[in-house]
Amino acid sequence: MKQFNISRILIEEGAEHDPLAKKILRRLPNIPIETVGPDELAPSGDIKGMDKESLRLMRFNGEFLKPCPGTRGYICCGYQILNVGTNCPMDCSYCFLQSYINQPSLRIFSNLEDNLTVIGEIIDSSPDRIFRIGTGEFTDSLSLDYITGWTDFLLPFFSRKKNSILELKTKTSSIERIIKSRHRKRIVIAWSLNTPRIIAHQEHKTASLKSRILAAQKCQKAGFVLSFHFDPLIHYPGWGKEYQETLELLERYIDPESVIWISLGSFRYLPDLKWIINRRFPGTSIFNGEFVPGLDGKFRYFKPIRVEMYSKLSQRLKKWHDDLGVYLCMESDDIWRQSLGWSPESSADLCSYLDSRVRNLVPD
Amino acid sequence: MERELLKSKASKVEISDIDLAPGPFSMSFHFNLEPLKASINRFGVLNPPYLLKNSDSRFTVVAGYRRLLAVRELGWTDILCQIAPDTFRPFKALLLNLSDNITHRQLNTIEKAMVLKRLTRFLKREEIIADFMPIIGIRANKQTLELFLGLEELEEAIRASVAMERLSLRVAGLMRSIARDDRLRINDLLTSIKWSFNQQWEATQWIIEIASREGCSIKDVIDGGEITEVLNSQRMNNPQKVRSIVKTLRARRFPTLVETEKLFRKGLSHLSLPLGVKIIPPPFFEGVGYRLEIVFTKGQELKGKLAELSRFSGLEGVTDFWKGKEHR
């Protein structure tokens, strides 16, 4: 299991009494601890580096379970985000959190366990609805699990919730804890995948493609349902061949039958993010593609380029297996039709499509 | 602060005893001394400069840097100055000079950057943003502060272009991410003919990104045949040259988009739409809604054009002329 360097713990006043904070402190016995106020940035906080070696334990006062904000003008999947913390110890150049949250340090919400009851009530109050929930939007679901032990309590909790699934999305191969767990039901382990070139140049400190796929294979053999996310797809010279090779590797190790879905999404960014990325990763080639302003103000690859990328990947995926639950993340009806040959037409219908996959593929 | 100032002493100081390199309190850049020299020649120095005595008995200029340069050029050997007390702290000296400057003149962009940079010796960035950026007329936020602080890294020629408002501040900020020779080359291009700041911004981004996309140098992009040809053209005036360079760069930076626009125009041209009728695609072809624009003077004319359009064959295939094209 890869362990990341944590050089100090910042603990916000009030968080020190939470059981999760206590467990984390026990797991990191020799790391210096500083007590800080709620809005106080740590002294000498390394803003440019996002201060990724500081673990900040804090109470979260917002809603732990919130719908993914989606984006206007495009079809969204109706995902629910479980806020366990923000930022992650890896450093993908394209990460939207650099501008979306723009707060340094690895932030762990120490009062998560206390709020599980509330989350459970929300889920139980709509028994006919399927809650597709993930922890991998604002952090990596597994990279800090060896410190936080998130999966120790999230797996048993969601395994019992019949109308929900928990998707743990990662770019690591840190699966030891989940493999040891006896809970499989309603847990989906997801990998964000990209070509080896993109992983090497843009996804700093993440696991290699092969490690991720081998970890996925182990999870599959251990009885977990899997999903994969090709997001962000990056357009660069040779992309077609290299994404093809990435899919070939996936096909070699993974049984498609228990893959619940595979999402495709292309690199998109708000204008502010470009400034931040250029500053944090000078000379990056990530903006070399042909980006134009989208309907939601984000820059995206020019439409024919997106269509070509989605078409090629989805055709190849279809050859592998014709029921992989391939869907597009934040794309228009028009792009869906041109790329995949069909469209859910609306966010509500995409939700229904993905919910039906949960009903069919996730064992009761 | 005023109490401390009252304790300053008037004294005649040899010009040769004063450090006349821009010191820690100076905020003057790219100025014309001639009017000041002419005034001093006629009326003398109306307000004496303020100096601080150093440990080596020489003097650092607190306020009056330009006056001192002017009198030196006029051949004076000494001047009456106010000498601040030894207890006068550097931060107060900086505030004194800032106050002296902003009450009687507009600081140029580089001078504002000098003020901010000097303040970082004494204050946290948050304090500078809240208390000083508004005073010198800059939008108070972290990003803008970083932009200004980075200006001092740039070469004098580029800073001079910014000070004279011939080069956009935003472009200067972008130039920090590229090598010295490359930014000087871009500075030459952007100041040799008149560009709008928006055109400068687009062109600079595109030049940098073209070099990255094509694996060539920025110099190669600028000195490549097309741009040089435009710059040397005798037929084009300056605005035409700028438009032509922007167009060239855009086609190189966005080949698929520009090709699609061409295909769209070509597709429409085959239709021979009635005069005054235009079909306008969504911006960047991102949306799905195309617009029809009909120019008419009277209702009767509109009716005629609508009737003509309704009989028009070929409208069915208007939109996606680009579909089926592969892009590399």
pLDDT in tens, B253-309: 999 999 999 988 888 888 888 889 999 999 999 988 889 999 999 999 999 999 988
**Residue A40 domain-assigned (yes or no):** no
Q: What number of H helices and E strands is found in chain A?
A: 13, 18
- Residue B325 touches chain A, beta carbons under 8 Å: yes
pLDDT of residue A279: 85
**Residue A16 domain-assigned (yes or no):** no
pLDDT of residue B8: 85
> Residue B209: which pLDDT band, with cuts at 50, 70 and 90?
very high
**Residue A25 domain-assigned (yes or no):** no
Residue whose structure tokens are 């005649």: B12
**Residues A42-81 pLDDT 10s:** 554 456 678 899 999 999 999 999 998 888 889 999 999 9
Mutate to test the interface with A, among B153, B284, B285 (most CBs of A within 10 A): B284
At the top level of CATH, the class of B1-105 is alpha beta
- Residue B290 touches chain A, beta carbons under 8 Å: no
B212 vs A contacts (CB less than 8 Å): 283, 285, 287-288
Percent helix, strand, coil in chain B, to 5, is 55, 10, 35
Parent domain of A233? 63-361
Provide the percentage of residues in chain B whose pLDDT is more than 90. Answer: 78
pLDDT of residue B6: 53
**Tens of pLDDT, residue by residue, chain A (364 residues):** 788 999 999 999 999 999 999 999 999 999 999 999 876 765 544 566 788 999 999 999 999 999 988 888 899 999 999 999 999 999 999 999 988 877 889 999 999 999 999 999 999 999 999 999 999 999 999 999 999 999 999 999 999 999 999 999 999 999 999 999 999 999 999 999 999 999 999 999 999 999 999 999 999 999 999 999 999 999 999 999 999 999 999 999 999 999 999 999 999 999 989 988 988 998 899 999 999 999 999 999 999 999 999 999 999 999 999 999 999 999 999 999 999 999 999 999 999 999 999 999 887 7
**Residue A314 domain-assigned (yes or no):** yes
Number of domain units in chain A = 1
CATH number at residue A121: 3.80.30.30
- Residue B255 touches chain A, beta carbons under 8 Å: yes
- Residue B209 touches chain A, beta carbons under 8 Å: yes
CB interface of B with A, residues 140-169, below 8 Å: 143, 146
**Residue A48 domain-assigned (yes or no):** no
pLDDT of residue A41: 65
**Residue from the list A292, A308, A332 with its beta carbon closest to the beta carbon of B284:** A292
**Residue A273 domain-assigned (yes or no):** yes
Among chain A residues, CA nearest to B282: A295
**Residue A245 domain-assigned (yes or no):** yes
A110 in Cβ contact with A59 (< 8 Å): yes
DSSP characters for A140-153?
Answer: -TTTTHHHH-HHHH
**Residue A241 domain-assigned (yes or no):** yes
B285 vs A contacts (CB less than 8 Å): 302-304
Residue B227 has pLDDT above 50, yes or no: yes
Q: Which residues have a Cβ under 8 Å from the Cβ of A277 and sit 6 or more positions away? A: A93, A94, A98, A269, A284, A286, A287
Tokens of B210: 């073209």
What are the residue ranges spanned by the domains of chain B? 1-105, 273-317
pLDDT of residue B273: 85
Alpha-carbon gap: B65 to the closest alpha carbon of chain A (Å):
35
**Residue from the list A278, A288, A293 with its beta carbon closest to the beta carbon of B177:** A278
Percent helix, strand, coil in chain A, to 5, is 35, 20, 40
